[in-house]
Structure 1
Amino acid sequence: MNAVRTGLLLAGMTALFLAIGAVIGGQQGALIAFLIALGTNAFAYWNSDRMVLRMHNARPVDHRNAPDLYALVADLARRAELPVPAVYFIDTDQPNAFATGRNPQNAAVAVTRGLMQTLSRDELAGVIAHELAHVKNRDTLTMTVAATIAGAIGFLSQFGLFFGGSSDSRNNPLGPIGAILLMILGPIAAMVIQMAISRTREYSADRLGAEISGQPLALASALARIQTVAQGRPMMSAERNPASASLFIVNPLTGRGVAELFRTHPRTEERIRRLKALATERSQIHSRMGPWG
């Protein structure tokens, strides 16, 4: 169901992109918009991982300079039946983490210094397992495509507002006022769709991550601790690059007010509630199976 919903949301975002292109340049504009979408997604497919890691000044680590972290990632990747991803370290006080990469063979997991200092080993394992779940579900590619289309919609809308839409009313059935409204509201709608995709994928990654680590309560505890600590420790690289916020396990941005309308993640309280329910479900299954189950 989550996969179907994600597909529909992506289709809706693409349709919005083509509609704005049509308003700007009629049928030719829609075709150009379609070609732009193909080009930007192809670029993002091959370069998104390096781009986002560079945004946050992440540096690679391995078994020589971070043996405990690397061993933990390798063990969890084995449990998840995934290749061991590249491991990166972000030198910031905010506890957080994200995964990136176009497929499991080219994935990377990045954790912050604050995360390493704040969480217990079991909690850290839960967070890393959550990120590996994103890799296994190929959410990293899905979110990259969503972010790329949303960014292209914003660029196309600004272009349309600056240079004006199609003057041919036959190619622009919305009329001049409708065209202006579409170009103003289009980027907002794209952002809302992008956030909806992100929230959908987080619930799935929480569940699969809990299954990989085998400790849903440890992941729930980690989420609560990260949420509490992160709000008082801004991550400047995320503030400079808010489009990458949806990649993190908890929203790294400290904005309030209107920003709450565009939440990149489900409410942490609901995620914790679901993880606790999963832990109860697992406990009941084990108790029914008995000592020989």
Structure 2
Amino acid sequence: MDTKELDAGNGGSKIGGFGSRMALLIGTNIAVIALFTVVASILGVNPQGLVGLTIFSALFGFGGAFVSLLLSKKMALRATGAVVIEHPSNDAERWLVDMVTRLSREAGIETPDIAIFNSPSPNAFATGAKRNDALVAVSLGLLETMTADEVEAVIAHEIAHVANGDMVTMTLLQGVINTFVILIARILANVIISVLFRDRGGRFVYFGIVMALQVLLGFFGSMIVMWFSRRREFRADRDSGTLTSNASMISALQALQRQHTDDVLPDEVAAFGIRASKATGVRKLFASHPPLEDRIAALRG
């Protein structure tokens, strides 16, 4: 793979909108929780007990999500065996570092850590808790089976995820879903115990109902998270077209269509890979990526 010359660029960001989307998401979530608290109070639920339960739910709901985010880079490197390029050792690595540096500058972020993992499947992913302290990793299969323009489009797609703050936004959304699952499960469990068992259900029955409701509500909550995940893939494709070209991104997606190797990314980073899900029917609702043909059609449209 030939080394490309660096583009001087203008130093400005070609993509963005992260701050406004973050503020909108946080503001909406606060408003929903406040409205839920008011409605519950009107219906006769103890406001003090509800506030305490909401705080408890938020701590547990957001706690796990943010711990995973903070550890995401280390977990991703360990799960995939990816090796960070500290000093390029050959022309291909130098080309990759130069290209990621240029795309990052054009996207308005600092250059992320760049890693390569040993997999025959063409794939790439981005992760990290901060826009300016992220990780972008590519597989050997991607570098060996795609053209330079296609690899660049895939990397631009991952850079777009970082620039758009998708890792943080996904964490916030997952935290909100977790919070409401924990909160609503306990409220409904209390109602069920009081109505059906006249408060004689006992602690074990209560926790059994809570666990069952959390599984059920979490099932539906994951559909919301995956819906958002699919939408951000379209946005990252579009931003990749801005950083490179729509033709290059379409060509990269078509190259993925021609591949028959299985997607081997571990669960820790699968949602941020480039490969599309092969789910069909109802399982599409739980897929983190839209079908490749839909993404290609969106870019052409």
TM-score (norm 2): 0.70
Change (3 A) 1:149 1:95: farther
CA distance in 2, matches of 1:150, 1:124: 35
Quick check: 1:183 aligned with 2:214?
Answer: yes
Q: Specify the alignment match of 1:220 in structure 2.
A: 250
Change (3 A) 1:128 1:106: same
Letter in 1 for 2:162: V
Change (3 A) 1:233 1:38: closer
Quick check: 1:124 aligned with 2:151?
Answer: yes
**Partner secondary structure for residue 275 of structure 2:** coil
Identity %: 29
Letter in 2 for 1:87: I
Q: Specify the alignment match of 1:81 in structure 2.
A: 108
Superposition deviation, residue 149 in structure 1: 6.0
Q: Specify the alignment match of 2:123 in structure 1.
A: 96
Q: Could you tell me which of 221, 232, 239 is aligned with 1:201?
A: 232
- Would you say the 8 A contact 2:131–2:165 is kept in 1? yes
Superposition deviation, residue 32 in structure 1: 1.8
Letter in 2 for 1:61: I
Q: Could you tell me which of 158, 169, 179 is aligned with 2:194?
A: 169
Q: Could you tell me which of 63, 67, 71 is aligned with 1:39?
A: 63
Q: Specify the alignment match of 2:99 in structure 1.
A: 72
Q: Deviations 1:180-229 (Å, cap 9, x if unpaired)?
A: 7633421211210111111111111111111111x211111111212331
Q: Deviations 1:210-266 (Å, cap 9, x if unpaired)?
A: 1111x211111111212331x43341x52xx2x632211223x66666533412112
Letter in 1 for 2:273: F
Quick check: 1:245 aligned with 2:270?
Answer: yes
- Would you say the 8 A contact 1:126–1:219 is kept in 2? yes
Superposition deviation, residue 152 in structure 1: 8.0
Structure 1 gaps, min length 5: 278-293
Change (3 A) 1:75 1:39: same
**Partner secondary structure for residue 136 of structure 2:** strand
CA distance in 1, matches of 2:210, 2:193: 12
Superposition deviation, residue 134 in structure 1: 1.0
Q: Could you tell me which of 46, 50, 53 is aligned with 2:74?
A: 50
Superposition deviation, residue 80 in structure 1: 2.0
Letter in 2 for 1:223: L
CA distance in 2, matches of 1:234, 1:200: 20
TM-score (norm 1): 0.71
Between 175-184 and 135-144, the greater mean CA deviation after superposition: 175-184
**Partner secondary structure for residue 74 of structure 1:** helix
CA distance in 1, matches of 2:251, 2:97: 22
Larger Rg: 2
Q: Specify the alignment match of 2:139 in structure 1.
A: 112
Letter in 2 for 1:244: V
Structure 2 gaps, min length 5: 1-16, 38-44
Change (3 A) 1:38 1:183: closer
- Would you say the 8 A contact 2:110–2:132 is kept in 1? yes
For the aligned residues, what is the CA RMSD? 3.9
CA distance in 1, matches of 2:246, 2:166: 20
CA distance in 1, matches of 2:155, 2:136: 8
**Partner secondary structure for residue 132 of structure 2:** helix
Superposition deviation, residue 81 in structure 1: 2.7
